[in-house]
Structure 1
Amino acid sequence: MGAQVSAQVERRKSISTEKKSLVDLKQTVGSDFPGCDYRPSDRKNWMSGLNPDNIRINQIVWPGTHDSATNKIGIPLVTRPFAQCQSLSIYDQLKTGARVLDIRVQEDRRICHGILLSYSVDVVINDVKRFLEETSSEIIILEIRTEFGHDDPPDFDKYLEDQLGEYLIHHDDQVFNRTISELLPKRVICVWKPRKTPQPKAGGPLWGPGHLKDNWIDTDLPSTKFESNIKHLGEQQPVANRKHFYRVENTVTPQADNPVLCVKPVTDRIHPYARMFIAQCFARGVADRLQIFSSDFIDEDFVDACVALTKARVEGKA
């Protein structure tokens, strides 16, 4: 018992030290980066506002959401706080400015996060289509994967093609060098990541797992995650040279050996430092690698930071 108490004391000290490390870094270096003062007047149509004729796909800093469809996961006030990573619906996330969705499914096409369940994936698809019908030039990256420990939903690739066919941007390495206008009216890059069934074929309507990569680490230590994100980002090629998307997640994850197991208070340890992360990308010479930047509980300021850097890139300022 004494050893367990001692271990918990050390864990709490580590968390406190790492939280202070980010606070001190922000006070020392700030959060400014090229174009950071820009705020889109219409987040629902922010790509349209930057002129789709001028924005190449590989210039976009894509604001994304982590575990996107968890706003109604589990039982309210009972299990939900342990798995909920977003409070907004998929439609409201898109309206706020998110353009990358991270969707986890199980065998029956229901959304899940570990053992906890939510609504059918049909809710996600309907929200996506509603948003696309209300906008004209917004491109979405829709990543759908089978959750760890589950089997793939039967014929799920056919389901996605049937539901999104008119919007799907077929896999093509040249997509990265094209402007938004050159891809329209197609609007969705759908990355399907099955666990056991065959992966999408090159050139088809769905993109395979190798076209959206990341280096996720399982930690609740905010400075550890922040520095890991910088390190792994620096190992990537610049966006201009890549033929896949690379994601950085401004999140940390509750750990079973820590008494704080709810997602919100844990991820809040790193959530306020998204702008500082972008600033540090410039300071450390890796800003040309940043592409997809995702968050738990996405908010307008997070979106604004990604849009501001996108605008600066399009204008040749970053």
Structure 2
Amino acid sequence: MGSLFSKQFERRKNIKAEKKTLCDLNENCGESYPGSDYRPADRKNWMAGLGVDKVYINKIVWPGTHDSATNKIGIPFITRPFAQCQSLSVYQQLVKGTRVLDIRVNENRRVCHGVLTTYGIDVVIGDIKKFLSETQSEVIILEIRTEFGHQDPPEFEKYLEEQLGEYLIHQDEHVFGKTIAELLPKRIICVWKPSKSPRPQSGSPFWNAGHLKDNWIDTDLPSTKFDSNLKHLSEQPPASSRKFFYRVENTVTPQPDNPIVCVKPVTNRIHGYARLFITQCFTKGCADRLQIFSTDFIDEDFVDACVGLTQARVEGAC
């Protein structure tokens, strides 16, 4: 018992120290970078607002959500706090400015997070199609993966193509060097990551796991995650030259050996430091590598942070 108490005391001490590290860094370095003052007039149409003939796919800093479709997962006040990473529906996220969705499914085509499930993938598809019908030139990266420990949904590629075929941007590495205007009316880059099924090949309506990469570190320590994100990002080629998307996630996650296991209070340890992270990317000389930037519980300021840097790139300010 004493050993367990000592271990928990040490963990709380480490968390407190890491929170202070980020707080001090923020006070000393600030959150100013090219485009940091920019605020899109219309977040629902922010890509259009930048000029679709000027916005190249490899210049975009894509605001994304982690575990995007978990707003209604589990049982309210019982299991939901342990798995909910977003409070908004997929449609509401897109309206707010989100352009990368992280969707996990099981063999029954239901969205899940670990062992907990929520609504079917048809709800996600419906939200996406509603958003696309209300806009004209916003492009979405839709990542769908079979959740760990589950089987691939039967005939899932066929289902997705039936539902989204008119919008799908086919797998082609030349896409990275094109403007949004050159891709329209196609508007979805769908990355399908099955568990066992063959991965999509060149020319397919779907992109494969090799086209969306990250270096996930499972920790609830905010400064550890922040530093890991910077380290791995600095090891990537510049976004302008690579033929895949690279994601950084501004999140920390609950750990089973810590008393605090609800997502929101844990991820809040790093949530407010998205702009600091972008600032540090410039300080460390790796801002040109930043591409997909995702978060839990996305808000307008996070979207603006990404859109502002995108605007600066489009205008040649960085």
So what's the TM-score if we normalise by structure 2? 1.00
Q: Aligned ranges for residues 246-285 of structure 1 at < 5 Å?
A: 246-285=246-285
Q: C-alpha distance in 2, partners of 1:298/1:311?
A: 20
Per-residue CA deviations over 1:120-147 (Å, capped at 9, x if unaligned) read 0000000000000000000000000000
Cα-to-partner distance string for 1:198-256 (whole Å, 9 max, x where unaligned)? 11111110001110000000000000000000000000000011000000000000000
- Residue type of the partner of 1:97? G
How many Å separate the matches in 2 of 1:60 and 1:179?
Answer: 10
SS in structure 1 of the partner of residue 272 of structure 2: helix
- Partners of 1:57 and 1:181 in 2: how far apart? 10
Alignment of 1:148-297 (within 5 A): 148-297=148-297
TM-superposed CA distance for 1:35, in Å, is 1.4
* Cα deviations by residue, 1:100-128 (Å, 9 ceiling, x for unpaired): 00000000000000000100000000000
Q: Deviations over 1:52-72 (max 9, x none)?
A: 000000000000000000000
SS in 2 for 1:130: helix
The two structures have a TM-score, normalised by structure 1, of 1.00
Q: Which runs of 5+ in 1 are unaligned?
A: none
Letter in 1 for 2:49: G
In structure 2, distance between residues paired with 1:288 and 1:32: 16
Q: Where does structure 1 differ by over 3 angstroms across 4 or more consecutive aligned residues?
A: none
Aligned twin of 2:72: 72
Whole-angstrom CA distance in 1 between matches of 2:61 and 2:197? 31
Q: Cα offset for 1:49?
A: 0.3
Counterpart of 1:106 in structure 2: which amino acid? N
Corresponding residue of 2:110: 110
1:41-88, Cα deviation, whole Å (9 max, x unpaired): 100000000000000000000000000000000000000000000000
Q: Distance in 2 between matches of 1:108 and 1:116?
A: 13
Alpha-carbon distance in structure 1 between the residues aligned to 2:242 and 2:125: 28
Residues of 1 paired with 2:231 and 2:314: CA distance? 25
> Partner amino acid for 1:89?
S
Q: What letter matches 1:190 in structure 2? A: C
Distance between the aligned counterparts of 2:108 and 2:166, measured in 1? Answer: 24
1:9 aligns with 2:27: no
Range with bigger deviation, 87-96 or 196-205: 196-205
Which residues of structure 2 form unaligned runs of 5+? none
Letter in 1 for 2:257: D
What letter corresponds to residue 11 of structure 1 in structure 2? R
Whether 2:36 is the aligned partner of 1:60: answer: no
Return the alpha-carbon distance in structure 1 between the equivalents of residues 120 and 93 of structure 2.
18
For 1:130 and 1:35, locate their aligned partners in 2 and report how far apart those are by CA, in whole Å: 30
SS of aligned partner of 2:151: coil
| Structure 1 residue identity aligned to 2:186 | K
Looking at structure 2, the residues matched to 228 and 32 of structure 1 have their Cα atoms a distance apart, in angstroms, of 21
Query: Which amino acid is the alignment partner of residue 209 of structure 1?
Result: A
Q: Does 1:316 align with 2:316?
A: yes
Matched AA of 1:138? E
Q: Which letter maps to 1:95?
A: V
Letter in 2 for 1:3: S
1:234-283, Cα deviation, whole Å (9 max, x unpaired): 00000011000000000000000000000000000000000000000000
- Partner AA of 1:196 in structure 2: K
SS at match of 1:71: coil
Q: Distance in 2 between matches of 1:240 and 1:37?
A: 24
The letter of the residue matching 1:287 is A
**RMSD (Å) for aligned C-alpha atoms:** 0.4
**What does residue 35 of structure 1 align with?**
35
Displacement of 1:19 in angstroms is 0.2
Matched to 1:150, the amino acid is H
Name the SS of the counterpart of 1:133 in structure 2: helix
Q: CA deviation at 1:290?
A: 0.1
